[in-house]
Amino acid sequence: MNKTLEGIILSIRDYKEHDAIIKALCKEIGIQSFVARGLRKANSKNLGAAQVFTHAKFFVEFHEQKTIHTMKTAEIMQSYRTIREDLLKQTIASVLCECMEKADLDMLNISAFDFLQCTMNHLAKTSQPYGLLALFMANMNRYCGVEPYVEGCVHCHSQKQIQAVSVIDGGFVCAHCMNPTKDIIMHKQDLYSFRLLCLADMENFEAIETYQNWTFDHVQMMVRFFEEYSGMYCKSMRFLSCIAKMDA
Ligand SMILES: [Zn+2]
C-alpha cells in the first residue's frame, strides 16, 4: 500500500552497498524505518531530504504490521538551515535526535513528534541553546519517569539550607543531610534554575530563555539524571561536551 508519512529524521545508517536505512519519528505513528534504495549513489534524488533532523514528507510502500517500509521518495518540509550553519546548534540537534530514538517515547501517552518539532523550532531561533537543551533533558527525564525531588531535602523534607543535588538519592539535599563525597554542591541560583527546569514544560521555553544565561553545566545536571535512571547513554552528548569546552 502506498502511503505518505510526515516525520523528522532521527538517524541514517548504511545498509548494503548503496542503500541506507532511515529512521524517522513520524507524526501520529511514532518511530518508523525506511529502506532507501540507492541513497548512497551520487545521483540519488533523495539526497537533499535524507539528512538527519530534516522534517520531511516520505512517500513509501507501507507494510502493515511492520515498522520497516520501502521509501520511494522524500521531500523536504523544513531543512532547519540555521541549525546546520551553527556547529553548536547542529550538535544539540544530534543529541535531541539520539535521545528521541533511544527513549522511543511513542510508547507513552504524548505526541513525541510534536515535542521534538517544538524543540527544533525553538532551537532554530534561540540565543540560549544550552537553556533549551537543559529543558529538553528535564522533560525527557519526566517522560521517562525520572522526577528529581525539588520541593525540599530528599532525605528529611526540610526546605531550609538546601545546598546540593544528589543524583543517587534523586533530588535536593540540605546542609544537615549532605554527603560531600557524593552530593553535588551548587550555588543558590543554580539550585533555583534546576528546580525551574524540573517543573517547566517545553511550552514555557520563552520564560526559561530570558531567565538567565544558560551554560553546559545546566545541561549536564539533567543528563546525569537521565543516564543514571534511564540507563540510556547518549553518544552525541560526549561530542557536545567537547564543543562546549571550546565554546567556553
Ligand atoms: Zn535534609
Does 138 share its domain with 209?
yes
Whether the full predicted model's pTM is greater than 0.75, yes or no, is yes
Determine the distance separating the centroid of ligand 1 and the alpha carbon of 139, expressed in angstroms. Answer: 26
CA of 151 to the centre of ligand 1 (A): 11
Q: 156 C-alpha to center of ligand 1: Å?
A: 4
Same domain, 177 and 229: yes
Residue 19 sits in the same domain as residue 96:
no
Of 27, 55, 79, the residue that ends a domain is 79
d(CA 177, CA 189) in angstroms, rounded, equals 20
End-to-end CA, the chain? 52
In contact, 40 and 18? CB cutoff 8 Å: yes
Q: What integer best gives the mean pLDDT of the chain?
A: 93
Q: 157 in a domain, yes or no?
A: no
Q: What is the DSSP letter of 10?
A: E
Residues of the domain holding 25: 2-79
* 162-166 β-sheet, strand order: 171-174, 162-166, 184-185
Task: Of 155, 118, 159, give the one whose Cα is nearest residue 139.
Answer: 118
Residues lining ion ligand 1 (Cβ < 5 A) are: 153, 155-156, 158, 174, 177
User: Is position 154 within any domain?
Assistant: no
Tell me the pLDDT tens digit for each residue of 167-179. Answer: 999 999 999 999 9
Whether residues 172 and 71 share a domain: the answer is no
Residue 225's pLDDT is 94
81 Cα: distance to centroid of ligand 1 (angstroms): 48
Residues 29-77: tens digit of each pLDDT: 899 999 999 888 888 888 888 899 999 999 999 998 888 999 999 999 9
- The grid coordinates of residue 75 equal 521531500
How large is the average pLDDT for residues 106-118? Answer: 79
Residue 109 has pLDDT above 60, yes or no: no
Looking at the predicted structure, is the pLDDT value of residue 248 above 90?
Answer: no
Note whether 26 and 47 are same-domain residues. yes
**Separation of 209 CA from ligand 1 center, angstroms?**
31
On whether residue 158 sits in a domain, the answer given is no
- The CA 101 to ligand 1 mean position distance, Å, reads 37
Does one domain contain both 94 and 72? Answer: no
187 alpha carbon to ligand 1 midpoint, in Å? 17
Helix axis angle for 216-230 and 188-199, nearest 10°, is 60
What percent of the chain is predicted at pLDDT more than 90?
Answer: 81
Q: Are residues 119 and 218 in the same domain?
A: yes
Total domains, the chain: 2
- What phi, psi does 108 have (nearest 5°)? -100, 170
CATH number for the domain harbouring residue 48: 2.40.50.140
**Domain edge (last residue) among 79, 106, 122:** 79
Q: Rounded to an integer, what distance in angstroms lies between the CA atom of residue 51 and that of residue 79?
A: 9
